Structure 1
Amino acid sequence: MSSYPDELAHVIKAAAVVNGQWHGQDSGGQGEEAVVDVPAYLQDYPKPPCFAFTPKVTADCTPEIGTATNDVQLTTSAGNYNPLYYSIVGLPSLVLAGDTAWYAMRLISVALTSLFAAASVSSILSLRRFRTTLAAFAVSCTPMVLYLTGGLNPQSLEIAATTAVFTATLAVMERSRNRENIRPYLVLLTVSAVVLANTRAVSLVWLALAVIAAVLLGGAGNLKMLLADRGVRMAGYICAAGSAVGLLWLLTAQTFQSLTGSGEQISKGQAFLTMLDRTFDYATAYIGMFGWLDTPAPNGVYAFWGFLMVGLAVAAACVRPASRLAGPALLLAAIVLLPPVMQSAVIGDVGYIWQGRYILPLVVPFLLACGYALRDVELSRTPFFARLRALLFWLAAGAQVYAFVYVLRRYTVGLARDANWLPMLQGPLWQPPAGWITWAVAYAAALAVAVVLLLRTLRAQSSGHPQDPEAANKDKESETLPCS
């Protein structure tokens, strides 16, 4: 418990929201935590946890957690966050207590995030010539993305909802000329957009950028034809209303006042340049910066996943005409420039608080945009290319398992200076329920199934048998579409 960034603060917020406290009590001062009434067992968890910031300390230092459910007052740094996510994931706290309640809240968060991830895959499979986009989706599921999905933090939903908005917009854009079967993707787009707009403080920015980038990829000239459709206009109105609600909460609840830290007495210009200089330092968190920023991924994982991500981006940069790269270029510019802009704006109040994971809602769509830009490139169908593709995805699954077990090692025996894998097998100091080996095997098995399904789907379209028969029938028609 509490192994994810600020997880206890989000658990306390969730338990408060489901009991009717959408907003805690605070004076509105910068960085002041809000006071809420929550079940008493939550005060048994250390804040921060005893192992935070010290990778040598294992999770067995955590004290015994009780199950008392009488109300006590606790503080949370998430007190004035939008309550939508918390009103769903906090439901188990109404009937459960202790670690059981916490695990149940995590599971609901996982299910909610997975729902939007599945919606993204559904939209991708509806695209004509979806092979490179689907492959890019697999690359975008970095160890850090999967790690965040397992914890209680609205950023997991934010990443998945942004991806769902981006892919659903692509699906809608492809149906601009013949709007048959457009309704399911309008629904996905509308629901994802409303949820995203009410997830975190800067989610409205991600929403706007995801839609604009997808429109650029799909051919901005087709937007006029789409807006002639009544259903599209209605979806736009609903998205606008949902965004207005999110903006209203942001302004009235003063969400940005929850930012904590000590101000730096430097100019905003200097802070901007410093953040720009650290761009690649923060980029490591796109792949894996676990725990309380105390457990970086193994260097081998960084090397391999960086190779996949950079290779995908470089390949997309070679696409011609260059106008097809407007969408990826917009997202890349935002990934590089928004962190310096956002951080420099608050440097005097809270100092340097930026973390690389904050920009993941744009990193994932950027990789998908690169894959989409490559969809018309005629990739080799030789046995050599098939083996290369399979090897890369099996190695990716191996890298995921390695990162997973490495983080378990951090909490079971600690990350010592010398290798200590043997103690992890012989006598771990801490174990998750059912033991770490059980979950490592289950994780590896789930990834193996995912790779098999991914390769089977890619082979099916490579052989001229796409998953979507309607897409195959319209393939010839699509030759008239921009960027197709």
Structure 2
Amino acid sequence: MAELHPVRRSRLAAGLTRLADWALRTRRRLWLCSFALFLALAGAWAAATPLGASPDEHAHFIRAAAVARGQLGGPEVMVKHTVAGVDSEFSETGVQLPAWYAQLPTEHECYSWKTAVPANCAPKIGSGGPTAQATTAAGRYHPAYYLYVGLPSLVTDGPTALYLMRLASAVLCAALLASAVVTTAEWRNRRPAMTGLLVAATPTALFLAGMVNPSGGEIAAGVLVWSAMLAVLRSPDPLLLNRRLARLGIGGLVLIDIRPLGLLWFAGAAVVGLLGHRRGALRPLLRRKALWAWTLLLGIASAGALLWSRNHPDHSVITLPDWYNSPSVAAKVAFDNSMDYIHQMIGWFGWLDTKPPVVTWVVWTGAVGLLAVLTVVFCRRRDSLAVFLVAVGIVLAPPAAQAAQYHLGPVWQGRYLMPFAVGLPLLCGAVLADRAASGGPALPWRRITATVVIPLALVNVAAFYWTLHRFVVGATGSLVNRHAHWLPPGGWVVWTALYAVAALLLVVPAFASDRGEDPAAAGRAGRRRHRLRADDPPLAAVD
């Protein structure tokens, strides 16, 4: 792809390219830089969001603390809840924990769904105390994620334990996302692929990464699965195949172990990847022992996840409105809510009661639309078909899921779909990168990338600040948080500044120079370099 002569570049563009090329000098450096930035973003959400101020987080806190103490299950307890004015009985799991955990379910009630009320009304979270029964609606979920994030609760107590649980979740998600960045940087034409990755990392994905919520790990794993799957099938490289299979396998294990639905999302990524695979990619892939080793591990994980789900059914008794009485009605309601689900996947915070500035939705939707249009216009027919199938899946999956479980009521949320939906921008970026490398139209990717990722960074920061503002002074309070009612640890200025810096630096790798050679044609010299630096081969680039 043609590049502008360095003399004609602006100083800013040249500086961004030099910084990006420095970060991409080796895989290890790129991974560490990306990990630090994603950890800063998720960590800022973890610190700046009141404890319990994300969907069902109190249930996940209790589940994590219990699993870390060896309580994989417990007695079933039917708990009465009123949802949307309807009285129901939810099947929850009783566990034995320090008594203060039992107070968590009501921690958020004074301000959730009351956006004008700041979070300072929440009662103070205690610590220590005797052991008592607490109940959690997450008691039926697979314990693997909870065992990991619950470990900090064994060494500390009270709010500190809860914040450290959030940090553990942020570390996991940052590691998965950093691995996806490295995978994306291995494309010969990096800018389209990297742009797609940055579009996939929505504010909602970063928000949930910093919460104790399995959706955070599920989404990050989905990003890694799609990135690795597309690289394996569309940009084959025998020198990188084992690395990519390892990333695909790790992402798949996390995705499947968190929720059985992850098996369906993994299969969807595989089908879409196979639809547009590069000719000649399958035969060497099928000959790799690593493929079959990871397939075996994923098969065992899938069997375990399905068995766990089968042995832990939901016995909740949901009282549904008279009109919500059939699968077809449930499907129609979900279809009518499609735009809400899209907005939730981009950014919708708290207990789905805090919307970002509208510009966040507009810019992010526009970025996805631009990538999709470029793919349809400039790429092959079967690539357009793949994009179409993913888009159709995003629209039709919620109605299908609601129809299959209509007896549970309209429970679907956009975050449940995100492990699959992130595939749309990632697929578009990969297809455009592949097309550019194979002699497609010489699009001005430096300008396209800047036009997309810089506004994304700005509206990402705006979404963070607006959400923090809602908790600090309330949605109707002063736009500048001068008279704070609630403050996160360290104050709101520190976390806003950290988030802004990290969000802007995160887009820098998208400006890196393209790789100087096609890895598939690197030949003997490339293999020799790989042997010499097998621990961390360079990400070759030229300007």
TM-score, scaled relative to structure 1? 0.88
User: Structure 1 residues 226 and 46, CA, compared in 2 at 3 Å: closer, same or farther?
Assistant: closer
Deviates more, 1:161-170 or 1:336-345: 161-170
**Residue of structure 2 equivalent to 1:396:** 456
Which amino acid in the other structure matches residue 421 of structure 1?
Answer: L
| From 422, 431, 436, the counterpart of 2:487 | 431
1:20-48: CA deviation from partner (whole Å, max 9, x where unpaired): 11123216998311111122222333526
After superposition, where does 1:358-369 map in structure 2 within 5 Å? 358-369=416-427
| From 147, 154, 167, the counterpart of 2:214 | 154
**Residue of structure 1 equivalent to 2:432:** 374
**Residue of structure 1 equivalent to 2:68:** 18
Inter-partner Cα distance in structure 2 for 1:27 and 1:202: 25
Identify the structure with bigger relative contact order (alpha carbons < 8 Å, sequence gap 6+): 2
Deviation of the 1:263 alpha carbon: 6.1
Inter-partner Cα distance in structure 2 for 1:260 and 1:410: 32
Which SS does the other structure have where 1:38 is aligned? strand
After superposition, where does 1:298-337 map in structure 2 within 5 Å? 298-337=357-396
Inter-partner Cα distance in structure 1 for 2:456 and 2:119: 28
Contact 2:98 / 2:130 at 8 angstroms: preserved in 1?
A: yes
Residue 206 (structure 1) aligned with residue 256 (structure 2): no
**Residue of structure 2 equivalent to 1:196:** 255
**Residue of structure 2 equivalent to 1:68:** 128
| From 49, 58, 77, the counterpart of 1:8 | 58
**Residue of structure 2 equivalent to 1:352:** 410
Deviation of the 1:18 alpha carbon: 0.5
1:316-359: CA deviation from partner (whole Å, max 9, x where unpaired): 22244211234333322221111001111222x22111112221
User: Structure 1 residues 3 and 379, CA, compared in 2 at 3 Å: closer, same or farther?
Assistant: farther
Deviates more, 1:440-449 or 1:186-195: 186-195
**Residue of structure 2 equivalent to 1:107:** 167
1:198-246: CA deviation from partner (whole Å, max 9, x where unpaired): 1024111111112222222324874354223333222212211111111
Inter-partner Cα distance in structure 1 for 2:199 and 2:441: 18
User: Structure 1 residues 175 and 446, CA, compared in 2 at 3 Å: closer, same or farther?
Assistant: closer
**Residue of structure 2 equivalent to 1:230:** 289
1:135-176: CA deviation from partner (whole Å, max 9, x where unpaired): 110111111111111111000100111221222222332575
Contact 1:319 / 1:325 at 8 angstroms: preserved in 2?
A: no
User: Structure 1 residues 320 and 445, CA, compared in 2 at 3 Å: closer, same or farther?
Assistant: closer
User: Structure 1 residues 311 and 171, CA, compared in 2 at 3 Å: closer, same or farther?
Assistant: closer
1:436-455: CA deviation from partner (whole Å, max 9, x where unpaired): 01100111111222223332
User: Structure 1 residues 64 and 270, CA, compared in 2 at 3 Å: closer, same or farther?
Assistant: closer
Inter-partner Cα distance in structure 2 for 1:69 and 1:343: 42
Which amino acid in the other structure matches residue 307 of structure 1?
Answer: G
**Residue of structure 2 equivalent to 1:480:** none
Deviation of the 1:380 alpha carbon: 5.0
After superposition, where does 1:467-482 map in structure 2 within 5 Å? 470=519, 473=522
User: Structure 1 residues 379 and 400, CA, compared in 2 at 3 Å: closer, same or farther?
Assistant: farther
Deviates more, 1:321-330 or 1:88-97: 321-330
Question: Is there any run of 5+ residues in structure 2 with no aligned partner, and where?
Answer: 1-50, 80-88, 527-543
Which SS does the other structure have where 1:171 is aligned? helix
Inter-partner Cα distance in structure 2 for 1:120 and 1:57: 38
User: Structure 1 residues 28 and 292, CA, compared in 2 at 3 Å: closer, same or farther?
Assistant: closer
TM-score, scaled relative to structure 2? 0.79
Inter-partner Cα distance in structure 2 for 1:302 and 1:261: 34
**Residue of structure 1 equivalent to 2:539:** none
Deviation of the 1:57 alpha carbon: 1.3
Which amino acid in the other structure matches residue 387 of structure 2?
Answer: P
Contact 1:39 / 1:72 at 8 angstroms: preserved in 2?
A: yes
Inter-partner Cα distance in structure 1 for 2:155 and 2:317: 31
Deviation of the 1:17 alpha carbon: 0.3
**Residue of structure 1 equivalent to 2:223:** 163
Deviation of the 1:361 alpha carbon: 1.0
Which SS does the other structure have where 1:75 is aligned? strand
| From 227, 232, 238, the counterpart of 1:179 | 238
After superposition, where does 1:198-277 map in structure 2 within 5 Å? 198-219=257-278, 222-254=281-313, 256-257=314-315, 262=320, 265-277=324-336
User: Structure 1 residues 345 and 164, CA, compared in 2 at 3 Å: closer, same or farther?
Assistant: same
Inter-partner Cα distance in structure 2 for 1:263 and 1:204: 32
Contact 2:344 / 2:414 at 8 angstroms: preserved in 1?
A: yes
Contact 2:187 / 2:235 at 8 angstroms: preserved in 1?
A: no
Which SS does the other structure have where 1:394 is aligned? helix
Inter-partner Cα distance in structure 1 for 2:316 and 2:414: 19
Which SS does the other structure have where 2:140 is aligned? coil
Inter-partner Cα distance in structure 2 for 1:26 and 1:319: 56
Contact 2:343 / 2:361 at 8 angstroms: preserved in 1?
A: yes
Which amino acid in the other structure matches residue 141 of structure 1?
Answer: A
